[in-house]
Amino acid sequence: MPRPICAHIHTAALAANLERARRCAADARVWAVVKANAYGHGIERVWGAFRSADGFALLDLQEAERVRALGWRGPILLLEGVFEARDLELCSRLSLWHTVHCDEQIDMLAAHKTQQPQRVFLKLNSGMNRLGFAPPRYRSAWARLNALTQVDEISHMTHFSDADGPRGIAHQWQAFCTATRDLPGERSVCNSAAILRHAGDAQVRGDWVRTGIALYGSAPDFPEHSAATWELAPTMTLSTQLLAVQQLQAGDSVGYGSRFIAEAPMRIGVAACGYADGYPRHADTGTPVLVGGVRTRLVGRVSMDMVTVDLEPVFSAGVEPGFGTEVTLWGRSGSGTVLPIDEVAQAAGTVGYELMCALAQRVPVLTD
């Protein structure tokens, strides 16, 4: 008998979230970002729901091979471009479009022998200071690429650091407009936060938007907005069951380090999920959880294979929890109650992205 823990991937929600992003992106084409194994959901599991995307964007060449193996013939963009010269052979063989963010990648292209010129996205470092050419170097990089017979169309891209917050995108957008002024080629600047918050402006939308986290039902700017306010549906549910119920007396402690001490008699449940399943160890007492569809809280420290939960609100709601009662760590309970992954992430000092991506291999995954 396997442990009762299980993750469900909701394909209808994935498809609905893609449509939601598309509505915000209006006439722009939509890259479905499926890096990190589709943000932990599994490329093969999301692929059917994302078939109506205009392209798939990812980092890993093996992931690109998997998308092609599924039968996708449309565009695939490598968001960090190639890592070594021989990657360009795979780009030719699989018709991959790739980002060019540094001189070394242009050198590799210049030395590459190919019949088929390649489509590239030249990346501007407009202020995030991770990847891309600094504004003063951008136009010379473009000119160098433009002179190569190995290169076909050159598009322009940048990535926003603050599309989800008060600083916004204006400073980077300005740098992008200045660096790319009058250069031919398509443009792509928006991630999920920019799509939801800033893509009302057709110029900012550009030709392609790159949406990741919104597809997976998480709000990029939580807690300012929730997934529900953005009309995004949860795409991953992590659920398990109670293994035991304990009666505590005032002064009794729970779990490693006795981090929780009961102030009064109370019942707690022990659920089969721990940090070895990808549940965040930093989730503290108070982190929300659903038991039998009723919202309650974690108590005590998360251990490798178990968490402990306060059952008092569950009894108060008229549910009699016991061995085998459903526990929803995030996502949608059997009764339909939703516990947003963003709320769990916030309580654990992280973001929904990290929780999805951290789902452990040992957790069985079902698709519905």
Distances (CA, A) of 96 to 15, 111, 238, 340: 24, 18, 34, 35
**8 Å CB contact between 238 and 5:** yes
Active-site residue identified among 39, 216, 256, 353: 256
Nearest distance from residue 297's CB to ligand PLP, in Å? 29
Nearest distance from residue 331's CB to ligand PLP, in Å? 18
- Of the pair 216, 279, the CB lying nearest ligand PLP is at 216
Read off the tokens for 106: 């242009």
- Of the pair 211, 333, the CB lying nearest ligand PLP is at 211
Residue 76, CA atoms < 13 Å, CB-side half-sphere: 28
Nearest distance from residue 152's CB to ligand PLP, in Å? 21
Nearest distance from residue 281's CB to ligand PLP, in Å? 24
Nearest distance from residue 163's CB to ligand PLP, in Å? 8
DSSP per residue, 91-115: HHHHT-EEEE-SHHHHHHHHH---S
Nearest distance from residue 215's CB to ligand PLP, in Å? 8
Catalytic site residue 256?
yes
- Of the pair 218, 328, the CB lying nearest ligand PLP is at 218
Distances (CA, A) of 299 to 19, 261, 314, 337: 38, 9, 14, 21
Catalytic site residue 279?
no
Report the DSSP beta bridge partners of residue 120: 98, 154
Active-site residue identified among 35, 39, 123, 279: 35
Query: How far apart (Å, rounded) are the C-alpha atoms in residues 171 and 178?
Result: 11
DSSP per residue, 18-41: HHHHHHHHTTSEEEEE-HHHHHTT
- Of the pair 99, 333, the CB lying nearest ligand PLP is at 99
Q: Tokens 């992008």 sit at which residue?
A: 176
- Of the pair 38, 271, the CB lying nearest ligand PLP is at 38
- The site for ligand PLP (CB under 6 A) is made up of 33, 79, 159, 191-193, 210-213, 220
Query: How far apart (Å, rounded) are the C-alpha atoms in residues 311 and 173?
Result: 50
Alpha helices in the chain (DSSP H): 11-25, 35-39, 43-46, 61-69, 87-94, 103-111, 135-146, 170-180, 192-198, 202-205, 312-316, 341-347, 352-357
- Of the pair 81, 292, the CB lying nearest ligand PLP is at 81
Angle of helix 135-146 relative to helix 170-180, nearest 10 degrees, comes to 40
Nearest distance from residue 216's CB to ligand PLP, in Å? 8
- Of the pair 211, 240, the CB lying nearest ligand PLP is at 211
Query: How far apart (Å, rounded) are the C-alpha atoms in residues 352 and 344?
Result: 8
Angle (CA) 106 112 116, round 5°: 105
Would you please indicate which residues are annotated as catalytic (active-site) residues?
35, 256
